[in-house]
Amino acid sequence: MTRRLSLWSLFWIFFRIACTSFGGFMALISVVENVIVERKKLMKHHDMLDGISLASILPGPVAVNLVVYVGYRLRGGLGALVSAVAAILPAFVFIVVLAYAYFRWGDIPAVSRLFLGFIPAVVAVIVAAAWNMSRKSIPGWREAALAAVAAGVLLGVGGFFSTVGIIVGAGVVGWLWFRHDLPAPVKGAPAGARKKRKRKDKSFKRRLDVRALFLAGAPFTAVPVWQLDPGILLKLFLVFAGMSVMLFGGGYVFIPIIQEIVVGGHRWVTQKEFIDGVAMSQVTPGPIMVSAAFIGYKVAGLAGALAATVGIFPPPALVMLASARVLERIKRSAAIKAALRGVRPAVIGMIFAAAVVVGKTAAPVWLSGAIFAAALFALLRLRLEAVWIIPTAGLLGLLLY
């Protein structure tokens, strides 16, 4: 940890990020990198890349997993919980409002022109993040080769197993290439430091147990008691919690799995309602898994939306939290340091590949190129925040497309 923030400051940082992170998980990741590393200097580039690597191979939404990792690094267990709530809250509010309008009045008016402006700006945010990371993590031809191969594999093959293969393969190559370049590790640690760390670990575990329970239960206090149906709420929670720890590969893996369970199995929504709910989740900022709230809202109103959301996000977040603590311990090893030196440029290559994938969805007109170029210039040269650039691009799309 480089600086200690108040929990309110941490919440506000991630809330602002989440309010404008349209365009999928890589957009959110890129804005997090831009704000946390480039602007506020709260973390180092290599620590952020380690978090992205870890988040990519664990179950659940990659972007939310990364937010949990960053929150943990900055303020421990409570920081992880506060950051995750802040990152999910805007998307949750958006989807509940849209679900209310949808089930009350029918189809939502099209906002396609707004998002035609968002997309090229989101691509610029992703490219800028990858470029800033590459300046420090790709110092030579070996790192550049790893980044290029990773981007090529992801664009040519794609899928979760390709992502895992890239990270594992880059780690092995990094160990082979860089293990002799590292200084010899300092063995042991002062006894006082070990005792202090042990006391801190025990204290953290006690605090985490209480706070995890609070996070799981607190949202329900916003719903009047007479609205609750414990049977259906518990069922919603358990169904989505069970799915959440099996969803490797990000939110889009979530779509066919949840479709089979909530449409074909429980019949909570129709096929059309499910498709519309997924579409709405892509119109909102934040992770696509927030479509769970849409389904929960159809089943049991606001209480159902909360139950589904509390089911889908906290289990992977707790897995990420435990894994982050393990990573902090093992990354002191010289072998792990060498492996991570190979993984980091590979992750940068995957981020560049994500920019290409998102860019293919932009409208093939000159205005898309102009918005992309202007946004990239604003990010890299003027160093403006994405929180201002993306809404401006959306307004241009609304007016000019």
Q: What is the pLDDT of residue 93?
A: 92
Residue percentage of the chain with pLDDT more than 70: 78
Answer for the pair 63, 48: CB distance below 8 angstroms, yes or no: no
Q: What is the pLDDT of residue 67?
A: 92
CA distance 147 to 158: 15
226 or 291, greater pLDDT: 291
Task: Give me the chain's average pLDDT, please.
Answer: 78
DSSP 262: I
Asked whether the predicted pLDDT for residue 220 surpasses 70, the reply is: no
CA distance 139 to 154: 22
Phi and psi at residue 162, to the nearest 5°: -65, -40
Does pTM top 0.85 for this prediction? no
Residue percentage of the chain with pLDDT more than 90: 16
**Mean per-residue pLDDT for 269-290?**
74
- In this structure, the number of other CB atoms found within 10 A of the CB of residue 370 comes to 13
Q: What's the Rg (C-alpha) of the chain? A: 21
Asked whether the predicted pLDDT for residue 155 surpasses 90, the reply is: no
CA distance 34 to 251: 22
250 or 148, greater pLDDT: 148
DSSP 1: -
Asked whether the predicted pLDDT for residue 96 surpasses 60, the reply is: yes
pLDDT tens readout for residues 106-125: 655 555 677 678 778 878 88
Q: What is the pLDDT of residue 369?
A: 92
pLDDT tens readout for residues 129-142: 788 878 877 888 99
**Mean per-residue pLDDT for 14-31?**
78
Q: For residue 275, with 0-12 CB atoms within 10 Å meaning exposed, 13-18 middle and 19 or more buried, which class applies?
A: middle
385 or 326, greater pLDDT: 326
Residue with tokens 């029918």: 106
Letter string b/e over residues 100-123, b meaning 16 or more CB atoms within 10 A of that residue's CB: eebeeeeeeeeeeebbbbbbbbbb
Spacing of C-alpha 169 from chain mean position: 23
Distances (CA, A) of 327 to 63, 84, 119, 130, 310: 18, 19, 34, 23, 26
- Residue-wise DSSP of 81-150: HHHHHHHHHHHHHHHHHHHHHHHHHSSPPP-HHHHHHHHHHHHHHHHHHHHHHHHHH--SHHHHHHHHHH
Asked whether the predicted pLDDT for residue 323 surpasses 60, the reply is: yes
**Mean per-residue pLDDT for 309-320?**
89
Strongest mean pLDDT among 10-19, 99-108, 318-327, 342-351: 10-19
Asked whether the predicted pLDDT for residue 238 surpasses 70, the reply is: yes
The two three-digit tokens of residue 264, written as one number = 């074909």
For 376-382, the CB contacts below 8 A with 24+ separation are 376/124, 376/127, 376/128, 379/34, 379/124, 379/125, 379/128, 380/128, 380/131
The two three-digit tokens of residue 288, written as one number = 């696509």
272 or 63, greater pLDDT: 63
- In this structure, the number of other CB atoms found within 10 A of the CB of residue 307 comes to 31
